[in-house]
Amino acid sequence: MKKLLLILTVCLALGCKKDPDKTLTQNDWRIESATVKPAMTIGRKTSTNYLELMGPSSCVSNSMISFSSKGTYVWSSNGALCDLLSDTSVKTWKREGDQIFLSAVPNSPMALKGDKLTQTTSTTTTEGIIYTFVFVYKSNKLKILMVCLGNICRSPLAEGIMRHLADERQLNWEIASAGTGNWHIGKAPDHRSIAAAKALGYDISKQQAQQFKQSMFASYDLILVMDRNNLADVISLAKSDEERKKVKLFLDNEEVTDPYWDNALFNPVCRQVEKRCIEIIKQLS
């Protein structure tokens, strides 16, 4: 009881609450899209797609914003044709609700919604044409969902091992898992998966099963399934080509054997999952 009172006292004094700005400061934000209206003509091309007009090697097409917890930010680009002059001035930002105000463009705040920042700005040409630009930046935090049948054997192993390895390498990844079936919702992984993972130095005991839902397509960048039945079940819920393209077999062209009915399979499956997680990290980081 004394310890609890001490914790409450500290919380009241220091404020034990989540930092709302971590959404900004823990991730870099890369350009996802840029549109201009009315359509603009550059060279021989006329389009409302500003990134297409500027080209894949331009500054804007490769731009990124990084926010510091100290209230400063950096706009950068690695575009091969980027001709920006070096700017060493300190730029600051402040947040008011979901609006992010940048000192360099104080009249064009960015709107934060989920994992996207949207900025609208306008410019008037000497001919009197008013062009309105909408820039959308997306958090580069990679979100991966592992999927199997019941979410108690294979996908929990993939979730726990991948998270552990990503954290070790200080990768800004979010890892989760789900099952296409609803039999084990809220339950811990199979005790045999927990033991196999523990033998290799991974703790998956606190994970809980959940069922795959259509809404998860919007929440994850990559959905890795354990076998072709999982692949068909997940893809059947996709509503667009963009969603379908997110779904891939965990082992590329092979399946991860379901060890549920054979105790002897858990350790080799766990080692197989670990090996593949290391390969995926090398490919994506």
Alpha helices (runs of H) in the chain, residue ranges in sequence order: 2-14, 22-25, 50-54, 154-168, 191-199, 216-219, 228-235, 241-245, 266-284
By residue count, the chain amounts to 285
Has 258 been annotated as catalytic?
Answer: yes
Is omega for the bond preceding 38 within 30 degrees of 0, making it cis? yes
Q: If DSSP codes are grouped into helix, strand and coil, which group holds residue 48? A: strand
Of the residues 115, 227, 233, 258, which is catalytic? 258
Q: Which residue pairs, CB below 8 angstroms and at least 24 apart, start in 102-109?
A: 102/73, 104/75
Told to judge if 276 belongs to the known catalytic residues of this protein, a careful annotator would answer no
- Which residue is it, tokens 């891939």? 248
| Catalytic one of 59, 153, 154, 190 | 154
CB 137 within 8 A of CB 32: yes
148 is known as an active-site residue: yes
Q: What angle do CA 254, 260, 263 make, to 5 degrees?
A: 105
Q: Which pair of structure tokens corresponds to residue 186?
A: 């809220």
Burial of 29 from C-beta contacts in 10 A (0-12 / 13-18 / 19+): buried
* Local structure of 62: helix, strand or coil: helix
Which residue out of 148, 153, 270, 277 is catalytically annotated?
Answer: 148
Residue 266, C-beta contacts closer than 8 angstroms, at least 6 positions apart: 153, 192, 193, 195, 196, 259
* Active site (catalytic) residues: 148, 154, 258
